[in-house]
Chains A and B, each alone.
Chain A
Amino acid sequence: MKNELKMPKLRPEMESAVLCAWLKEPGQAFRKGEPIYEIETEKVVNQIEASEDGVMGRQLAEEGDEVAVGAAIAEVEE
């Protein structure tokens, strides 16, 4: 089943963040709890962990892109 990774809202006032780095390439499998990408907002680099097992699909945001909270950043296959 295809699913989407969305830019998380880490704090109530957060509106967007910079997608800084993908830690998994398309086609790479990951386990729940594994770090899969990094974002930066308010001078904090935040390593985001997978909430489920999955396989990285097409990446919709490029490294360096400013992405709004809730916007899709990648497709994942479960």
Chain B
Amino acid sequence: MIYYVNDSNDPCFNQAFEEYLFLNAAEDDVLYFWKNDPAVVCGCYQNPFAEVSIPAALDRGVAVVRRETGGGTVYHDRGNVNYTRIARAEGAGADYGRFIRPVVEALNRMGIPAAFTRTCDISIEGLKVSGSAQKIAGGRVLHHGTLLYDTDLTVLRALANGRQAHYEAKGIRSAPWPVTNIREHLPGGTMSTEAFEKALWEELTGGRAEKRALTAQQLSEIGRLADEKYRTWEWTYGRTPAFSYRRVFEWRGKMTSAEYEAKNGVIQTIRLQPEEGRLAELEKSLAGLELRPELLKAVCGAAGCPGFWTYLI
């Protein structure tokens, strides 16, 4: 087993790091742990507008990121330890037990009463502490999972709590489930996230994995992939499947509605009601606009409706 060291906490860099190893690592038995600064991470084919409260995320300085694997939206912070495994695919379909069971057994040896539940979760007393997802391509499988150790669960619930009601769309929905932190279920005393990570590494690998660091050249290629893919609006928002939006709310004392259709993250047609004054002007400015939060904010501000953008996504 090869353990690639990744000390970065940059969510976009970490997505690129994983994709780079999946495509380029020569080994068929790769493991590593990694942690992100606060970020909501959406599944490859999800609608981030629908799954994430984007104005609330931006307000808290939380990054919104799209990953390469399937599944739903998760919240990461430095109290959440992610593990990634890269291996040769055995058969074409999902095989979660192969990667999840060793983690459950390692947690159990640490005295933590974790269990493998549902299709690809790890739970403690019915509460989820880990979700996982995979990508299978070219005969290889990328498996990764979260481990909520000491995450701010208030932020998790506020930002990634399932699809918002005003979106109507095809595609992959998140499936929220009650969660808990592993730290609350330790057999005795407490330990830091770093100590937990180290203890889990010892249990998972028997302390025998060969630790490797990537070269400066490889890290610079990963940095480029992060910039050219994971940090772009086109990847995170532009790949969103077509959807329609309808929301009714109170705006300056009047019942107001916003309805639009979007394709590839671009507003195709939009109707704001009541169609009068500033809203009529704003409607014209919004048609054909890319759903870029900062752009929506600027256009609404210029039309004399600051704050209106938070009702549009």
Contacts and interface: CB of A to CB of B under 8 A. Distances in A.
B199 to A, nearest CB: 27
Interface string B121-157: 0000000000111111110000000000000000000
Contact of A20 (B44, B96, B137, B169): B44
A46 B133 CA distance: 11
B93 interface: yes
B291 to A, nearest CB: 17
B146 to A, nearest CB: 12
Nearest to B142: A45
A66 B119 CA distance: 19
Contacts of A65: 170
Given A64-B170, A64-B241, A64-B242, A45 B92 contact: no
B70 interface: yes
A13 B171 CA distance: 21
B120 to A, nearest CB: 6
Given A10-B93, A20-B45, A64-B241, A43 B138 contact: no
Interface in A1-55: 8, 10-11, 14, 18, 20-21, 35, 40-47
A46 B138 CA distance: 10
A78 interface: no
Nearest to B135: A45
Contacts of B94: 10-11, 41-44
A63 interface: yes
Contacts of B68: 45
A44 to B, nearest CB: 4
A43 B241 contact: no
B193 interface: no
Contacts of A14: 93
Contacts of A20: 44-45, 171-172
6 contacts: A20-B172, A40-B44, A41-B70, A43-B119, A44-B69, A64-B170
Given A44-B133, A47-B135, 5 more contacts: A10-B91, A42-B70, A43-B69, A43-B70, A64-B170
Interface of A: 8, 10-11, 14, 18, 20-21, 35, 40-47, 63-66
Interface of B: 43-45, 68-72, 91-94, 96, 119-120, 131-138, 169-172, 241-242
